[in-house]
Structure 1
Amino acid sequence: MSGSTQSVAEQRYSPLYFLASLGAGGLVVTFFMYLMFWVPHPGQPVPVFEDILKYATSQDIIGQAMVAVAMLGIAFFAVLHYKSLIWNLRQLSAFKKSGAYDNIHGTNAESQMKALPLALAMAVNVGFILGLVFVPGLWSVVEYLFPLAIIAFVAIGVFAFRLLGQFFGRVLGDGGFDLKANNSFAQLLPAFALAMVGVGLAAPSAMSGTSWIVGTSVVLSTIFITAAVIITIVAMVLAVISMVQHGTNPEAAPTLMIVIPIVTVIGIAMMRMNHGLHTTFDVHGGAGETFTLLTKFLSVQVLFALLGVAILRRQKYVQTFLSEDGKRSAGSYALVCPGVALSVMLHFWVNKGLVATGLIAKFGVAYWVATAPALILQFAMILLVLKLNHMHFGRSSTPAATVPAE
């Protein structure tokens, strides 16, 4: 294929393009929220094919349309997710044989490789959602699937730790970390990857009825979530020191909001573990406790969203990197995760917080007013993903300017 007909992503590949796969996978989760909170699922903590079918056949046109939109959205973005993941794996294989791959090693940009285990962990989560929604009778054999899921997430987690160990081994053993170039939250990507593994490992604790599976799930999830929190704190402190001295790297400005998805996955992991502790080990927590916890998480996310938007506007990020005649940066896909994560957190806050405590009635006017921001964010992220895919993967005889991603 000649260079003139290659997409921007093919001409200037970066491991950060795994974030394109991650963003599509995140949108699968946003559509699953419809089924999770709007379709009754007695007998299990998540809706399954039978619940969805029963609901769709007993509802009016509005209820049926909701189910149709949710299932079509899940199917479409799941295909996009896996298609992007496979494309990235192929590109990464070629990338590793190039000088560009050698150039990122020994620099701060080495953390880009953590986008691979992050996308792989999302792939397992998306696969589980597809099974719940489209496979009849899955719940009857789900206890046999949980150990396999744990093994898969542990394997991805070990891979992530190995990549992290190589990076930390070099930095802490030999030095060479460029603090001046650390003027963004790009180094929080490893924490995000570990948190994604942690939330996946927490899923069996929320859904299994087998004590040893719940216990194993809680222990392993706690390990990865704890590691993610520690790395987040350390990386944020180092990054803030650099940013107040040198300003924020314009291309990496979207990373200022990476705290939002980290908080969402940690929050969901904690709720999953608390559910397992309640149902299996008789550890009780009330709706008020969950409401206050989610409110704290949401407050942190809103603050970082305001900070990120303020910096993006000041640096004219949209005009520079999101316009048709602007530059192309693989890091632009980092904008998708915060919007998706905030949408998901809002669904949990409304349903597990406001509704569960009795502050608002489910499906009342106040309910839809509170849910509207989640739906608006989801729609905005769908448009953003489609726009970015057009800009980065569309073929053009006149390639746009690209910049090396941090």
Structure 2
Amino acid sequence: MPNTHARAVDTWSPLYFLASVGAGGLAVSFFMYLMFWVPHPGRAVPVVEDIASHLGSADVVTIAMVALAMAGIAVFGAFNLGLLVWNLRRVPAFTRSERGASLLASNAETQLMAMPLALAMSVNVGFILGLVFVPGLWSVVEVLFPLAIAAFALIGGLALRQVGRFLGRVIGSGGFDCRTNNSFAQLLPAFTFAMIGVGLAAPGAMSATLSTAGISIVLSTFFMVAAVVIALVGLVLGVRAMMEHGVAVEQAPTLLIVVPITTVLGILAMRQGHGLHVHFASHGTAGDMLVLLSRLLSLEVLFLLFGMTILRATGYLKRFVFGSETSAGAYALICPGVALSVMLHFWINKGLVAAGVVTKFGVAYWALGAVALAAQLAMIWLFVVLHRRHFMASPVPVPATAAN
């Protein structure tokens, strides 16, 4: 049967930026292989020189793992950047259209926050691509860190401007429809600020220059606080509306958005903690890290159970993933699964292994790691399914009677 679902090019909305974000998240999930399975002494992250050195004495299984990781990073990194450009080209025409004007006058105006979210994700992916494929990058990294901070600051300024315009309209003159806020759609700005914050925190964890690390920690803290405040407000407003009106079915995937927000903020906190340890003599213990990551993972599991329960109750997957209907919001399903996979890698390695609870590369290590790999594989499958539905569909045939 031909694939004749509505095409993204014909029904574009800002939520299609989530396709780029999802691809970027999958690239990050492959980087976890290198992060925790390839030694990188003296550096917070592995670089191409570490990978080459490790392969020099590696067995066939290790070589295959590294090859798979690098291929995954390259493929999904390319999807991330390609989808970002594809979406950016459609923004001007959309904002000038009647659909764009309607969106800008409604609760859905915050969907535009998907654009700075995708931009921030792509900067993070670009850094990973550089680490894995550009020899000698680490020798000039202290020059690149200030540029990265500037890039994230600019994206942060764009995001703040968009949020300010939305709040100025709905609070300054009213117009926010609480009745139709029956989802967690208003948490998208929190996800955006968290992504900007985690990018800003990277120099704090990796730079050898105290001033660079200090600026990184301060700026990332601002966006971390902004993300937490907006998330808390959005949760309260969303739950209140859902309890009265039920969930908006097409926005049901937003019930899982707490999962990627939690993972991103968790990585942000770990990056800040490492920078504070190296530069400012602030020392945490392995037990502290285990407790922090266990709490974050517990929160994610709770929201995954909650979200999947509602998705099942509303029949969302049958309609928008396996059925005849299409929705750009379906791409919001990829980020939670990827975020769970990434969080599990950190929980296992920075939590359980670092605290001595689990032996690295032991039976328990791989048993737990298999859950992270399963989540990653499921999200790769989902990305392929959604990409085929939204980007490879043939135009929907128009009946002859309708054409007349």
Q: Could you tell me the TM-score, scaled by structure 2's length? A: 0.96
Moved over 2 A (4+): 4-7, 397-400
* Residue 113 of structure 1: aligned partner: 112
The answer as to whether partners of 1:194 and 1:224 remain within 8 angstroms in 2 is yes
The answer as to whether partners of 1:350 and 1:371 remain within 8 angstroms in 2 is yes
Which stretches in structure 1 are left out of the alignment for 5+ residues?
A: 401-406
- 1:226-237 to structure 2, matched below 5 A, reads 226-237=225-236
- 1:260-299 to structure 2, matched below 5 A, reads 260-299=259-298
**AA partner of residue 232 (structure 1):** A
* Residue 342 of structure 1: aligned partner: 340
The answer as to whether partners of 1:261 and 1:342 remain within 8 angstroms in 2 is yes
The answer as to whether partners of 1:21 and 1:119 remain within 8 angstroms in 2 is yes
The answer as to whether partners of 1:336 and 1:384 remain within 8 angstroms in 2 is yes
- 1:17-32 to structure 2, matched below 5 A, reads 17-32=16-31
**AA partner of residue 385 (structure 1):** F
Report the 3-state secondary structure (helix = DSSP H, G, I; strand = E; otherwise coil) of the residue aligned with 2:249. Answer: coil
Report the 3-state secondary structure (helix = DSSP H, G, I; strand = E; otherwise coil) of the residue aligned with 1:68. Answer: helix
Cα-to-partner distance string for 1:276-312 (whole Å, 9 max, x where unaligned): 0001111100111001000000000000000000000
Task: Give distance in 2, aligned partners of 1:7 and 1:138.
Answer: 43
* Residue 371 of structure 2: aligned partner: 373
Aligned-pair CA distance for 1:97: 2.3
**AA partner of residue 119 (structure 2):** L
- 1:39-118 to structure 2, matched below 5 A, reads 39-118=38-117
* Residue 356 of structure 2: aligned partner: 358
* Residue 325 of structure 2: aligned partner: 327
Task: Give distance in 2, aligned partners of 1:286 and 1:144.
Answer: 31
Task: Give distance in 1, aligned partners of 2:88 and 2:44.
Answer: 34
Aligned-pair CA distance for 1:399: 6.0
Task: Give distance in 1, aligned partners of 2:397 and 2:225.
Answer: 43
Report the 3-state secondary structure (helix = DSSP H, G, I; strand = E; otherwise coil) of the residue aligned with 1:45. Answer: coil
Cα-to-partner distance string for 1:24-76 (whole Å, 9 max, x where unaligned): 00001000000000000001110000000111121010000000000000000
Cα-to-partner distance string for 1:242-285 (whole Å, 9 max, x where unaligned): 00000011110000000000000100000000000001111100
The answer as to whether partners of 2:25 and 2:338 remain within 8 angstroms in 1 is yes
Aligned-pair CA distance for 1:6: 9.9
* Residue 401 of structure 2: aligned partner: none
Task: Give distance in 2, aligned partners of 1:5 and 1:256.
Answer: 28
The answer as to whether partners of 1:7 and 1:393 remain within 8 angstroms in 2 is no
The answer as to whether partners of 1:7 and 1:394 remain within 8 angstroms in 2 is no
- 1:141-220 to structure 2, matched below 5 A, reads 141-220=140-219
Task: Give distance in 2, aligned partners of 1:348 and 1:6.
Answer: 38
Which stretches in structure 2 are left out of the alignment for 5+ residues?
A: 399-404
Aligned-pair CA distance for 1:93: 2.3
Task: Give distance in 1, aligned partners of 2:203 and 2:277.
Answer: 13
- The 1:287–1:131 alpha-carbon spacing in structure 2 relative to 1, beyond 3 Å, is same
The answer as to whether partners of 2:7 and 2:395 remain within 8 angstroms in 1 is no
The answer as to whether partners of 2:352 and 2:358 remain within 8 angstroms in 1 is yes
Aligned-pair CA distance for 1:7: 6.0
**AA partner of residue 201 (structure 1):** L
The answer as to whether partners of 2:28 and 2:73 remain within 8 angstroms in 1 is yes
The answer as to whether partners of 2:6 and 2:396 remain within 8 angstroms in 1 is no
Aligned residues: 396
- Please say which of residues 53-62 and 348-357 is displaced more in the overlay: 53-62
1:305 aligns with 2:333: no
Task: Give distance in 1, aligned partners of 2:248 and 2:56.
Answer: 53
Q: Could you tell me the TM-score, scaled by structure 1's length? A: 0.96
The answer as to whether partners of 2:205 and 2:274 remain within 8 angstroms in 1 is yes
Task: Give distance in 1, aligned partners of 2:279 and 2:348.
Answer: 26
The answer as to whether partners of 1:192 and 1:261 remain within 8 angstroms in 2 is yes
Percentage of pairs with the same residue: 59
Task: Give distance in 2, aligned partners of 1:391 and 1:92.
Answer: 21
1:315 aligns with 2:310: no
Task: Give distance in 1, aligned partners of 2:329 and 2:155.
Answer: 23
Aligned-pair CA distance for 1:346: 0.3
Report the 3-state secondary structure (helix = DSSP H, G, I; strand = E; otherwise coil) of the residue aligned with 2:96. Answer: coil
**AA partner of residue 263 (structure 1):** T
Task: Give distance in 1, aligned partners of 2:139 and 2:318.
Answer: 52
Aligned-pair CA distance for 1:84: 0.5
**AA partner of residue 203 (structure 2):** P
